[in-house]
């Protein structure tokens, strides 16, 4: 199971993101192999919130945000709605000194289902490694 952080989906949709090419390459590779792509329920809320912020700060047209949100929701990513995610994400946030328990919800899904987490946020990768060996920076993705 591959858990994809919202940052990976946003990067795949927006050419202005540094991880744009890597994110698209990774998604294409995983989908060609019929890998199971998953995320916590938070994913959809974060995609919506960030696209709104980009419109509000005049970095994206409203019509483009509408379109990109629709496209991002079309990706075959399964939302894992397991209540076990939340207490575990709280523990992980405490363990890694994270002020909020958002990124750690993705990490909790990866951990609960023995999967790997890919993110475009290298700060988060640095914060949880080497303790977590299942978290990777999408900018380092190389097609095998």
Partner 1 sequence: MTSIEHDIIQQFAQLDTHTQQRIFMQLHAYMHTPKNFDFDAWRQNVNTRNDAPCADNHALNALRELRAGEDDA
Q: How far apart are CA 79 and CA 75, in angstroms?
A: 11
Residue 116 interacts with partner 1 (CB under 8 A): yes or no: no
Residue 143 interacts with partner 1 (CB under 8 A): yes or no: no
Member of 3, 7, 125, 141 binding partner 1 (CB under 8 A) = 7
Task: Tell me how far, at minimum, the Cβ of 130 lies from partner 1, in Å.
Answer: 22
Task: Tell me how far, at minimum, the Cβ of 35 lies from partner 1, in Å.
Answer: 9
Residue 94 interacts with partner 1 (CB under 8 A): yes or no: no
- Number of residues interacting with partner 1: please give it, by CB under 8 A: 52
Which residues in the chain belong to E strands, given as ranges?
2-4, 37-39, 77-79, 116-119, 135-137
Q: Which residues contact 88 (CB under 8 A, 6 or more apart)?
A: 104, 108, 111, 112
Member of 3, 43, 92, 120 binding partner 1 (CB under 8 A) = 120
Q: How far apart are CA 20 and CA 11, in angstroms?
A: 5
Q: How far apart are CA 135 and CA 116, in angstroms?
A: 6
Residue 39 interacts with partner 1 (CB under 8 A): yes or no: no
Q: How would you label 56-85 residue by residue, b for 16+ Cβ within 10 Å and e otherwise?
A: eeeebeeeebeebbeebeeeebeebeeeeb
Considering the complex, state which of residue 49 and residue 131 has its C-beta at the smaller distance from partner 1: 49
Q: How far apart are CA 110 and CA 103, in angstroms?
A: 11
Q: Which residues bind partner 1 (CB under 8 A)?
A: 1, 6-7, 10-19, 24, 27-28, 31-32, 34, 36-38, 46, 49-50, 53-54, 56-57, 59-61, 64, 67-68, 71, 74-76, 78, 80, 82, 84, 99-100, 102-103, 112-113, 120-121, 123
């Amino acid at each position: 199971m591959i858990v994809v952080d919202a940052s990976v989906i946003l990067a795949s949709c927006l050419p202005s993101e540094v991880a744009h090419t890597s994110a698209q390459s990774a998604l294409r590779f995983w989908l060609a192999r019929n890998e199971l792509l998953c995320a916590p329920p938070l994913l959809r809320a974060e995609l919506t919130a960030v696209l709104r912020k980009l419109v509000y700060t005049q970095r994206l047209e409203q019509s483009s945000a509408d379109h990109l949100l629709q496209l991002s929701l079309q990706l075959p990513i399964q939302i894992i709605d397991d209540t076990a995610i939340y207490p575990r994400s709280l523990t992980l946030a405490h363990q890694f000194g994270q002020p909020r328990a958002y990124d750690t919800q993705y990490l909790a899904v990866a951990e609960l289902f023995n999967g790997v987490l890919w993110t475009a946020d290298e700060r988060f990768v640095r914060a949880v490694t080497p303790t977590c060996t299942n978290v990777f920076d999408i900018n380092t993705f190389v097609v095998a």
